[in-house]
Structure 1
Amino acid sequence: METEMKLGKSALTVAIVTILLLMIPFVAMQISGEVDWSFMDFAIMGTLIFITGMAYVTLTRFASYWVLKLAFIITIGITFFMIWANLAVGLIGSGPHAGNLMYIVIYLIVAIGTLRYYSNPSKMVYVMLATIGGLILLTIVAFLAGMQNYHASSASEILMVNGFFIVPYAIAAILFRDAARKLKSKN
């Protein structure tokens, strides 16, 4: 009962923070014509912020060591940023096309792996390695498909963007490994 009340309070806090963050573009729309969000933009971003906030609250509450907490924060944060950037401008070129849709596989690897193994840091290492492998494979597919020739895209951009995301997942993998070692030595 106490856990349910804490989770309810956390959900309310996350909902309030989500609304406050959505007020930024809403107010900007009133002041400037350069910000033009549709209802769908607010709905998608609100959902993304709320889910990210709840993932943070749930996973960091479970984490018994600061190293494990930090690993979850990095995983959640970089995944949020990847989704947001892809929705906002696209990660390969610009706009909705196969190159940007391929990242859905990466989100699924992180989400399904984390839901399945959040309580086992040693398995979370494999989730991070699978995510890194997915990003490397995505990069290879992008080059084989000639996506470096898309409008507003280049070979160096594809390499830099995917490398940018690989690094934090690698750091999270190292942190999950360290947390697993601490848990093992404790038992």
Structure 2
Amino acid sequence: MTLAKSVTRVALATGLLLLIPLTAKLFIAEMAWSVGDFVAAGILLFGAGLTFVLIARMSDSTAYRLAVGVAVAAGLLLVWANLAVGLVGSEDNPANLLYLGVLAVALIGAFVARFRPLGMSNAMFAASLTYIVVTAVALFVWTPTGVAAEPQVKLLNVLVANGAFAAIWAVSGWLFRRATNSHRQLA
């Protein structure tokens, strides 16, 4: 499939996905999305789809493509959850900005690895570890004070949710490692 066709499909999928909250907004009074919310969601969805298309084209390996999909989904979910409700407390908690480090580790690692499977695996495992470290720092080391302080944050909920997010990055790393192994068997 050509790149232009793939980009068109991503744009169509983005539009179709945005019809879901638009329909909800028409029928559910509590649906409070603004135009800015729709624009942000469109940019996030289209950006994630385009990222997947561009990186997945670098290999014919099913494991590699699946790993790319999981990594892109992990990044999308991290940003979306952080913007919507926050990963530690509310979305207004400045500790949530620390999670940009997870994206930085994944992206810088991917570029340094030149998107090769073994390097991508290491980058995704590093992102998973960074996720865990950032969560620990956000919960136990750097506690915001004043308006940003949130004593009502439920520790177990935060640990389980962030553990699940870290696991998604680790699954991507494992899939990239499988892509490395399958690539070696073909060579």
Shorter-normalised TM range? 0.7 to 0.9
What is the aligned partner in structure 1 of residue 164 from structure 2? 164
Cα RMSD for the two superposed structures? 2.0
What is the aligned partner in structure 2 of residue 145 from structure 1? 142
Matched, 1:185 2:176: no
What are structure 1's unaligned runs of at least 5 residues? none
Contact 1:59 1:118 in 2 (8 A): no
What are structure 2's unaligned runs of at least 5 residues? none
Q: Taking every aligned residue pair, what percent have the same amino acid on both sides?
A: 32
Matched, 1:64 2:60: yes
Amino acid at match of 2:102: I
What is the aligned partner in structure 1 of residue 82 from structure 2? 86
Secondary structure in structure 2 of the residue aligned to 1:35: coil
- Decide which moves more: 107-116 or 31-40: 107-116
Amino acid at match of 1:30: L
Secondary structure in structure 2 of the residue aligned to 1:102: helix
Q: Distance in 1 between the 2:57 and 2:103 partners?
A: 22
Matched, 1:54 2:50: yes
Distance 1:116 1:8, change over 3 A: farther
Number of positions where the alignment pairs a residue of Structure 1 with one of Structure 2: 182
Q: Distance in 1 between the 2:17 and 2:154 partners?
A: 33
Q: How far apart are 1:150 and its partner, in Å?
A: 2.0
Task: Find the partner of 1:27 among 23, 29, 34.
Answer: 23
Amino acid at match of 2:168: P
